[in-house]
Every structure is written in C-alpha cells, then in structure tokens.
Amino acid sequence: MKSKLVAYIEKDVDSGLYVAVVPGVPGLHTQAETLDELQSNLKEVVELCLQEMDPEERNNLPEFVGIQQIEVAV
C-alpha cells in the first residue's frame, strides 16, 4: 500500500543542516547535510514509522491542507 505524506523542511541556521518533519505523525523527523540525503533519510524514517503504526492509525493520518506564512511586527 502506498501512502502520500507531506514533509515540512527547514534549514537550521546554526548547524546548516536540513531538517524535515511530517506533522501529525509522532516521531517522524530527520536531518541531513544535503537535500538528496534528506530525501533518502526521510523515505526511510517514513517507512519505519508507518510500519510501527497499526492499520487504524495509518488510515487516519491528517490530510495536508496547506501552509501559511504570517508576518508580525515584533
């Protein structure tokens, strides 16, 4: 069975590493020095996390709606 998930990716300013998180899936995050390496790591951790979930959890993963960028004055 194939699952489609959305990862949120940022570049950490301090370490220079790319960091990926999949919202709604506990423990699903990884990091890497390059985007290619991140893609590989992310695929691996997604497979591991989904294997650990029971079928009911896998069928009830959150649906990606979108991302909003919000600007505020501080």
The Cα–Cα gap between 67 and 10 comes to: 13
How does pLDDT run across 1-54, given as a tens digit for each residue? 677 889 999 999 999 999 999 988 888 999 999 999 999 999 999 999 999 999
Domain 8-59 has CATH 3.30.160: yes
**pLDDT on residue 27:** 86
Q: b/e per residue, 20-54, with b = 16+ CB within 10 A? A: bebeebeebbbbbeeeeebbebbeebbeebbeeee
pTM confidence score: 0.79
Q: Would you list the domain boundaries of the chain?
A: 8-59
In the numeric block, the tokens 């989904």 are attached to: 50
Instruction: Read off the tokens for 34.
Output: 């390059």
